[in-house]
Structure 1
Amino acid sequence: MKLVTTGQHCDDLMDALTEFRESGPTVQRWGAQLARRLSGGARLLVAGNGGSAAQAQHLTAELVGRYREDRPPFSALALHADTSSTTAIANDYGVQEVFARQTCAHGRPGDVLMLLSTSGASANLLSAATEAHRIGMLVWAMTGPAPNPLEAVSDEALCVNAPVSATVQELHLVAVHMVCEAFDRAIEENTAAAERRTAGEHRTRKEDSA
């Protein structure tokens, strides 16, 4: 196996990041749409394997907790984080069903399922995407280079064009933070708009009663 120097690692990351910047509009749209759905009572389900599981759980932590400024918590579940359910399902139904069965249990029409995979070929994520579509959920994916099977079965995918899994995962983390930035911005804008509407309605009532 050819070893990569630390300098080469940084060079590979910079090359991939330059191309990744073109994904900005997609990430912005995801954050805004996620803000609308979660504010309306929907939830986000996320899943991944290995390092991608860590990235997925990072996203749920930012939404249930906070990213930067204080705001209300929002419903986001990392399916792989429930080790008892995951291992029980794997034992009884097979590894391919560990996320699909949890998606069936927790997912509702209008919810969002986000799947992270460097290969875009993980069988358990593909099964989860199929189940989510059956329920009526929106399916997003973060993957490595396109085309890949997960991209093909998702409603929309953000594909990192990098040959090394480590670089893909590093840019998935960048994407997670960018989604959180867009999410928080949309929440702030929606809150401000609601406050303006409430103030306008209050003024109208005062004028009508004068």
Structure 2
Amino acid sequence: MWKTGKLPVPACQLPSGTIVVDDVPAAGGVGLYARVSSAAEKDRLKRQMRRLEVYAASMGWSVIDKASEIATVTNENRRGLQKLLKNRQIRTIVVETPDRILPSGFDYLDLALQSDGRRIIALDEQFSGHDDETTLEELLDTYCAKIYGRKGAAAKAKALIALLHEGDLDMLKASERASERAAERAAAAAEPKEEETEVTL
């Protein structure tokens, strides 16, 4: 159905060939939730949130709140998660994997929220079998394709990854700088190289 253009919902195709359906969140905003179990995993916590931000931006969703926590999955006093669940303006919560929320029973929680017109989305259900860096690059490639068009999207995605690794998480400003970097690289590659002439005395 994708090849014939008859898919009944908005979707896009990643460089790997994966077809991603552009889920439209229920009326209201989106909340992002990241969690690790110990302080030693702080870098992973940042990577989680970065992936969630990129995914939400690539889908064109309005993020109204975020929560990052260092707590075990069995900890029932996670204030960040409670804050997102209690916020009635948040209709969709995005997490990296189901076990960021619960050790088991994620689908039941999702069903309970759906009965209230809300839901939880786990990225690993859409990007299984990929490492973090590959998935991030694919997400950014999709984002750049939507903003700038398919041509040159891959180069802009790589430039965006470099900026995000430098700690720049402002997607709009980072994408502008990534576009400039990609253009500079393309111009540099197109410049004719001067031939060196050996002079013998």
TM range (shorter): 0.3 to 0.5
| Structure holding more strand per residue | 2
Q: Which has the higher contact order (CA 8 A, sep 6+)?
A: 1
**TM-score normalised per structure 2:** 0.41
| Structure holding more helix per residue | 1
